[in-house]
Structure 1
């Protein structure tokens, strides 16, 4: 009886617009990708998917908004991996990152690189590190928030190179880039969606790719691993809903987003126009990964004494 009711519920779903919470500000990688996917999903479901931005806390404010919502499938949202696996070890949050979320699917692995102003005097990470070492306390790096992998990678490089540089959290690349162009931030780790257009305009330059592999969009820029470092930056953008969402509705959402994410024409569009590489992974697979990462970062943060 419950199964048939759930199936019937999914057949009628959605009967009204769906809210998609975006946990970073307008103009960020997450925001741009979410709005484009929402347009395509709306066409399939026959109802608008309306994006709203709920920013702060390195993504945790938006995730909290998603998870406190009614689990009926009408509020879903973007989730960055650190909001589930890193930030809970650094801040008191109003949600349980392992119990309060239903994972819909992975949208993409984030790609990252360290960028600086286009006319900055540094052309490599070594240049930047040497300057920061000779000028303790003067170099400021930005991030989308405490506990994001953007923060963690810069802190880790600082430890490795014995740098005294300052961290200033923002609400995403949409705030960091103007701050950098205005001379308030010297460096940051960011994604190609926001950074590459500014590089092509000559306003920014990328010193090193902090992801595992080089960017297809700037293939000449080397990776941290190629530079001899033993670590790299890794994170994912996924979709989540409050725990307790009817299983049939969760499956319908996953199947719909998967169809869009795996569409060859849309994947090509994202690559060529948005500088983003889509990569679907099931919600069930990702739930297991998050549990592993949660345990990993609990120990990692203690070992490296990374706090703020």
Structure 2
């Protein structure tokens, strides 16, 4: 494992990677075909831009299994981890808009174009938004034997030890990375970010003592309950139901809420009939008991939006991320 010391502004600027744009207007399905039940006639590929075994991967596999029952065809997960979660969207740009390729769309997809003087893609116009799903419970955990009992103690130690404290996240430019750097900026802390390709690598580095803390979604929950890890803070609006004794960032005096909500999208130009078939199947899957059990396990709320509302939300997110990029002076 290697880590690189970078400036705060440089760290915040790593919000994506170069993306190639394909036209993606060919191969449209006809509405009558979609509505007649002929779609899908083969497996649907779901691009998950995170490593196997992490919170998103587990949640998406449960969702895809439930959706497969509604669609009558397998929904097959393909992991494309790295680059802060934008590789699924990148792959969509070269896919046919026939409904057989979808991707989970993290917030980093909306962030990168605002950081470039020549944006390689438009996060609203270059994708078809199908259904919005959920958001994360984010938090910072340390090993149970660590000396820090509270987040304030951890921050105080980091401030006293510039450059000596490191933390892991699932990648540069993710909401977790940017929020940790915003925390450091607010408290005058100089610490080192260690990006990983997914939760499993991040967790192993923490347990093995290579990192001091882990900032990630709630794949850590069971280890916290088992006493192997200590949860110092969550980033939710209110305290997590599963961990009511743990304060939020706002309660520690840091006015940040971060849940990184996400949904599913396909290539631009998808036929409305195909979109409806997919939306209906995944909406039902979202509420399937086998899937909601996973959401409950990770304290992930249902944040459903239909295709039209999700498209509006995507436009809003692109605007808000652009404002954040401008405020922080971030550049690709």
TM-score clears 0.5: yes
- Is residue 78 from structure 1 mapped to residue 87 from structure 2 by the alignment? no
- Is residue 296 from structure 1 mapped to residue 315 from structure 2 by the alignment? no
- Is residue 248 from structure 1 mapped to residue 273 from structure 2 by the alignment? yes
Residue in 2 aligned with 1:154? 180
Question: Could you say which structure has the higher helix fraction?
Answer: 1
The Cα of 1:112 is off from its aligned counterpart by 1.0
Q: Flag the 1:292–1:5 CA change in 2: closer, same or farther, 3 A.
A: closer
Describe the SS at the equivalent of 1:86.
helix
Contact 2:34 2:277 in 1 (8 A): no
Query: Of 52, 67, 71, which residue of structure 2 is paired with 1:26?
Result: 52
Describe the SS at the equivalent of 1:136.
coil
Query: Of 138, 143, 151, which residue of structure 1 is paired with 2:169?
Result: 143
**Map of 1:1-308 to 2, 5 A cutoff?**
5-10=30-35, 11-83=37-109, 85-90=110-115, 95-192=121-218, 194-263=219-288, 265-266=289-290, 268-305=292-329
Describe the SS at the equivalent of 1:50.
strand
CA distance in structure 2 between the aligned counterparts of 1:93 and 1:19, rounded to whole angstroms = 27
TM-score w.r.t. length of structure 1: 0.91
The Cα of 1:277 is off from its aligned counterpart by 2.9
State the number of aligned residues: 303
Flag the structure with more relative contact order, 1 or 2, with Cα contacts below 8 A and sequence separation at least 6: 2
> Which region of structure 1 is more displaced relative to structure 2, 60-69 or 290-299?
290-299
Contact 1:262 1:279 in 2 (8 A): no
- Deviations 1:129-171 (CA, angstroms, capped at 9, x unpaired): 1101111001112222222110111011001100001112212
Contact 1:141 1:187 in 2 (8 A): yes
Gaps of 5+ in 1: none
- Deviations 1:207-260 (CA, angstroms, capped at 9, x unpaired): 011121211111111111122222221311211100111110011101111112
Contact 1:56 1:62 in 2 (8 A): no
RMSD over equivalenced CA pairs, Å = 2.2
The Cα of 1:56 is off from its aligned counterpart by 1.1
TM-score w.r.t. length of structure 2: 0.85
Contact 1:22 1:78 in 2 (8 A): yes
- Deviations 1:106-138 (CA, angstroms, capped at 9, x unpaired): 110222111122221111111111101111001
CA distance in structure 1 between the aligned counterparts of 2:202 and 2:211, rounded to whole angstroms = 7
The Cα of 1:12 is off from its aligned counterpart by 0.3
Contact 1:107 1:239 in 2 (8 A): yes
